[in-house]
Amino acid sequence: MSALILALDTTSREEALRIASLTADHLDAIKIGYPLVLGAGLSIAGEIAALGVPVIADFKVADIPNTNTLICDQVFAAGCSAVICHAFPGGDSLEACVASAHAHGGECFVVCEMSHPGGAEWFSGGVAERFSGMAVTAGADGIIAPATRPARVAALREIIGTKKIYSPGVGAQGAAPEDVKALVDGVIVGRAIYGAADPSAAAREYRDRCR
């Protein structure tokens, strides 16, 4: 059983709020990122959170520690409950994200292996394992790992223990909730819900399949 997280990658405020209102009852969280925030402004985070759904800020934060702190502080002040960061800038950068998240009572997730075909290339050869170890050392709350490669999710679970795993790649990228729901804490679905003719019905169906 896993939670269901909607990746709300629409670019207009009105469309985002329409989809969020239609689907909120079936979701455990909504993930927002650059597509929506660059189109609608960061204030959209608070508007979505006001619907009663926790908001995860997928900014894949990847800078020096001071800049990471400045970014994450803005994210949490805007009403987000969690932030997603990259590990490659180093352990000190990651620790800055974790410290900001925890100072605001929020969570920090670390991208450890990406779901697209190129992710298999770049994160192989021990890179994802190393990033997962960094997530543990930095005290992060969880990692992002690919539903498109369940065996890799299982391998990273060995490293992170009981920390959370949120897993994108379900729906438009070809994976199914059943592929990973026993391995992860949350399944991330974007286009297959917000692009459906009936987003509410699609969200309900994915929620039932995650349970």
Applying CB under 6 A, what is the total number of residues that bind ligand BMP?
20
168 lies in the binding site for ligand BMP (CB under 6 A) = yes
Is 115 one of the annotated binding-site residues? yes
Lay out the site mask for ligand BMP across 13-42 (x = CB under 6 A, - = otherwise): --------------------x---------
Find all residues with CB under 8 Å of 95, minimum gap 6, and list them. 65, 138, 139
191 lies in the binding site for ligand BMP (CB under 6 A) = yes
Between 95 and 113, whose beta carbon lies closer to ligand BMP?
Answer: 113
Report the candidate in 22, 76, 24, 73 with the shortest Cα–Cα distance to residue 46: 76
Residue whose structure tokens are 């402004």: 41
Give the strand pairing for 82-86 and 29-33.
unpaired
Is 190 one of the annotated binding-site residues? yes
Between 66 and 87, whose beta carbon lies closer to ligand BMP?
Answer: 87
Is 191 one of the annotated binding-site residues? yes
Which range, of 74-82, 132-140, 185-193, 200-208, touches ligand BMP by CB under 6 A? Answer: 185-193
Q: Is 198 a catalytic residue?
A: no
Is 186 one of the annotated binding-site residues? no
Whole-angstrom distance, CA of residue 161 vs CA of residue 175:
23
DSSP state of 30: E
Both tokens assigned to 176: 């199914």
Of 21, 74, 173, 200, which lies in the binding site for ligand BMP, with binding defined by CB under 6 A?
Answer: 173
Lay out the site mask for ligand BMP across 119-158 (x = CB under 6 A, - = otherwise): x------------------------x-x------------
Helix, strand, coil distribution of the chain in percent, nearest 5 = 50, 20, 30
Which residues is 58 bridged to in the sheet? 33
Report the candidate in 50, 104, 48, 47 with the shortest Cα–Cα distance to residue 75: 104
Task: Give the residue numbers marked as catalytic.
Answer: 58, 60, 63
